Amino acid sequence: MEKETLLTQVTDRAMSWITGNYDAETKKEVRLMLDCDDKSKLIDAFYKDLEFGTGGLRGIMGAGSNRMNIYTTGAATQGLSNYLKKEFAGLKEIKVVIGHDCRNNSRKFAEISADIFSANGIRVYLFDSLRPTPEVSYAIRKLGCQSGIMITASHNPKEYNGYKAYWNDGAQVLAPHDRNIIAEVNRIKSTDDIRFEGNKDLIEIVGKDLDAAFIKRVKKLVLSPDVIERHSDLKIVYTPIHGSGIMLVPDALRAVGFTNIISVPEQDVISGDFPTVVSPNPEEPAALDLAIRKAVETGADLVMATDPDADRIGTAIRDGEGNFILVNGNQTMLLCLYYLMTRRDELHLLTGREFVVKTIVTTELVKDIAVKRGIEIFDCYTGFKWIAEIIRKNEGVKEYIGGGEESYGFLAGDFVRDKDSVSACTLFAEIAAWARDRGKSMYELLQDIYLEYGYSREVGVSLVRKGKEGADEIEAMMKNFRTNPMKSLGGSPVVLMKDFAKLEAMDYVRNERVLLEMPTTSNVLQYFTEEGTKLSIRPSGTEPKIKFYIEVKGAAKTRESLEEAEVAAGRKINAIRRELGI
């Protein structure tokens, strides 16, 4: 009976798209879903509205209220316009930046958004073609804008697109603006509420000048220009995986002094179909296959790849035998923060005001490095908007030198307020040159970190559960973990459990509850064991997934014993996965 009621509801909603003020192509697509015997596509397309969440929109492209299309994009832009006009009513002119990546329909959604903003009397700076997300964040501050949007679904499969909303500090929107924008978007009840007819006089095309200004700021981050000059011929394979990194990353690498940038021609082709990969996600090993093949062929030193909107970086380095191995997000952040803290110390640049940031699901090893250097470290929720908030709150008082998260995002400077693969690529190459200058490989540098601070291995596991049934299943799983908390992990008793939905921790050693100091609640559970294992569980905010983050600790005194520590950590991780049924 419940399924019949749902089908009736989605059919009624779909019929309103057939009879409403929608274009012929959209109506045709809806009619095909209605006429199909299998109603699963119809249900998934209409069982709810595509939610404008705290980070914007993200969904599969197509007709329907739960899809990314010109109408859901239009409603988001109209709602944001309405809120901007209320929030900045005292300004003579409200300004926004619009960027987009390589995805199918990204340019269309960007231009439609430009029309809607301008129809509402808002000045628009629209990039002339695809650009990295970090450049949009930078442009908002550079051009004195009140907001900005980026049309992208980041690293999602080709069927997806999305809409990221930014505030005047160049960061993705936070409370209270996120909730207020959501309320305005929810007030858009009809396509008739959306002002699609743009004012071309209010739309300005931007591009090359901002590119040059952005790269100039990236150059200022370099700490070892003399080292780069000595090793300017470092062989670097870079691939944008068909995305927007092609617009800035190679030029930025050359600008800081590297001369031997090797491309992967097949993946320099800009395409929303991502023809050479199953997924354009640098977290996926297969996404770097072509680049690694090119590196082997050319004798390159390292490999770097960026996702479609070029905010995340994936890398590969040579191991002790000269074979390429992938560097995960935690390791990339370890290398970057270790270098930034160590090099600043060497140059006598540490004043006691510096700080770094990591997310709660990221390796705890970063904390040990920061503490030893006397550098303050902040923990925050997953998502760079939280890192940006910490930067904003400490601006003018403390100096941000770097921060990141396990999901391949890093930010080295504060002129961008989102993760930035452009500066991350130049920094990673600089670290490789610095290591070589000391007679070491990147692999040996990573080993040195483990030998000094202790071995750590992290694994992320995502369970995909699509559609309404999947969302219900994920909700039930989180409820079960709260109702039946883990008592041990990998044979080690749990000594601390944190529930960020309640902002409460249970200390099992002292048998007491402790309040968690965070800016808001979040649907995240964490377990910490006596041996130092950490397990984090959270539903994704942008994808139909529930994510498990496992970190186990080990110890090694020599490079040779690191292999034993790695094997032992692998066994423990596998045991924990069996306990969790993942």
Residue 244: CB partners within 8 Å, gap ≥ 6?
Answer: 101, 102, 130, 131, 132, 133, 308, 309, 310
Residue 254's φ and ψ, nearest 5 degrees, are: -70, -40
Tokens of 217: 């700021």
Q: What 3 state SS string does 484-497 have?
A: CCCCEECCEEEEEE
Tokens of 10: 């989605």
Radius of gyration (C-alpha) of the chain in whole angstroms: 24
DSSP states along 348-367? T---S-EEEEEETTS-THHH
In contact, 132 and 422? CB cutoff 8 Å:
yes
Q: What 3 state SS string does 118-141 have?
A: HHCCCEEEEECCCCCHHHHHHHHH
Nearest to 354 by CA among 374, 384, 334: 374
* Residue position matching structure tokens 């670097």: 236
Q: What 3 state SS string does 31-71 have?
A: HHHHHCCCCHHHHHHHCCCCCCECCEEEEEECCCCCCECHH
Rounded to whole angstroms, how far apart are CA atoms 263 and 185? Answer: 42
421 is annotated as an active-site residue? no
Instruction: Give me the catalytic one of 81, 118, 154, 423.
Output: 154
Rounded to whole angstroms, how far apart are CA atoms 97 and 149? Answer: 6
Q: Which helix (H) or strand (E) holds 431?
A: helix 421-437
Rounded to whole angstroms, how far apart are CA atoms 26 and 46? Answer: 13
Residue 2's φ and ψ, nearest 5 degrees, are: -60, -40
Nearest to 177 by CA among 145, 157, 147: 147
SS3 465: coil
Residue 483's φ and ψ, nearest 5 degrees, are: -75, -35
Q: Which residue numbers are catalytic?
A: 154
